[in-house]
Structure 1
């Protein structure tokens, strides 16, 4: 994601820059799933454009367990102003979950839902959605993965327990650090651990390496004064622990409650490449001329 500038007459005609911080808040949406008309779960998803070399296919990335057994999904999208800026108008759309691309490894809890049904519904209104979309260019390079420090500053954007800004329909941002090094696979899996409070509803939240005011480059032994924002992972869960809450010594009874460790498990963003491969096969199998979607989104 790069800085996006747009005209805003309401601010004296000056260009307004949609900074990296503002962009990451517009790349996510709250997901509510249903089956038989009854609510199943609340989670988070983020916008990602796959197969860029084929024209691009916009999808909503989340976890497999979020859409498992679900029939429909409700998401909210901001509409775009005439000057290209995000408006305060939001449309809520419910659609059938019938176009899902799953990560080929059953042990990797990652999937992508086609965003085209949502965007087509908004176009029927004569409007365009405002979303900031992540692409493969937002992932670290192979060299960057290797050279990251064992402890890095990160942010997670999502809807823990469904909480968010209900008026402006924006997510909550949480800050933390990597609990395990980004350069290695935690427990031999394509994952890393984050040190931040992670709750149900945060599943599917994107995790960004986030250095808004610059960072120290250890390889070059110098401080770099430009922002560094990279998509490094997707949260899928966290380790609960059982704590003794009450002990009744006379009756020799103990009551335990589940307490969070404030740790989270994140799938490495490199696994989006495998998902891109799945979507690529689906796109190439389509009839000529329909290889990628054509949408007016930010």
Structure 2
């Protein structure tokens, strides 16, 4: 008699909080990117890099995105695409970040959870996951960047991959006066918009179902403009915008 197959391994909820993003103009595919879910006051948002949704220097102007949704918590091979328009009657429905230091390469778009398949499997970060105690993030803290570098992922189970990262500039200090810090990690195109997280070693009741602290949103690689492309290696450094910008971008509208 054949042995019964073992039950599937439980997947860390972090993998289910970070869907892949594909951008389109109509039916024409443009780029792949990363993002993550953020929930506040029972409203669900998708957070990513602003340049994923609009980038004037490269004339990147998608009119919709598509995110991957898992539809069975016990069978991760089952998933579907969910289309989200970026404009309604010519007006952008996404919001981008800005502070006293200028534009922030972060954007959020509210998602209609009622339009999701009833069985959709979604794990979300919340304001309780934001790392607000800068002193609790020493320089040797190990970080993870959760996303889809070059669009690479587990195509059977439709899950992102994790890139290990280190802190490259003091966490809590605005690098060069901007609302970001630097990470040391191997990254690629397609991972823009990924969550930068660290393990929550003392999760509260509010974070127990997703025991990770959200530190930032990965944006892009940092390089020297005068680097000799033959003699000098890339710096291997990246910009990550502080995640507390999400509180501004998801602020409930005034009554």
Q: Label 1:167 to 1:233 Cα distance change in 2 as closer, same or farther (>3 A).
A: same
| Cα separation, 2, equivalents of 1:71 and 1:154 | 33
Of 272, 275, 279, which aligns to 2:246?
272
Give CA-to-partner distance per residue, 1:88-125, whole Å, 9 cap, x none.
Answer: 31011223223212224451111111221xx44433xx
- The CA deviation at 1:235 is 0.5
Q: Label 1:264 to 1:131 Cα distance change in 2 as closer, same or farther (>3 A).
A: same
Match of 1:122 in 2: 116
Give CA-to-partner distance per residue, 1:221-272, whole Å, 9 cap, x none.
Answer: xxxxxx9731100001112354443xxxxxxxxxx9x964221100011211
**Pair 1:134 & 2:130 matched:** no
Q: Which moved more, 1:264-273 or 1:89-98?
A: 89-98
TM-score scaled by length of structure 2: 0.80
**Pair 1:66 & 2:52 matched:** yes
Unaligned runs of 5+ in 2: 1-5, 55-60, 88-92, 203-209
**Pair 1:240 & 2:223 matched:** yes
Unaligned runs of 5+ in 1: 1-9, 215-226, 246-255, 286-298
| Cα separation, 2, equivalents of 1:34 and 1:147 | 40
Of 34, 40, 44, which aligns to 2:34?
44
**Pair 1:261 & 2:235 matched:** yes
Task: Specify the structure having the higher radius of gyration (Cα).
Answer: 1
Secondary structure of the residue aligned to 1:28 is: coil
- The CA deviation at 1:139 is 1.0
- The CA deviation at 1:167 is 1.1
Of 171, 187, 192, which aligns to 1:182?
171
Give CA-to-partner distance per residue, 1:138-162, whole Å, 9 cap, x none.
Answer: 0123xx2134212311001000111
Secondary structure of the residue aligned to 1:110 is: strand
Cα RMSD over matched residues?
A: 2.6
Of 29, 35, 58, which aligns to 2:19?
29
- The CA deviation at 1:67 is 0.6
Match of 2:70 in 1: 78
Give the structure with the larger helix fraction: 1
| Cα separation, 2, equivalents of 1:58 and 1:86 | 24
Give CA-to-partner distance per residue, 1:267-288, whole Å, 9 cap, x none.
Answer: 01121121122xx11xx55xxx
Match of 2:83 in 1: 94
Secondary structure of the residue aligned to 2:35 is: strand
Conserved? CA contact 1:234–1:269, under 8 Å? yes
- The CA deviation at 1:72 is 1.3
Conserved? CA contact 1:72–1:97, under 8 Å? yes
| Cα separation, 2, equivalents of 1:178 and 1:228 | 20
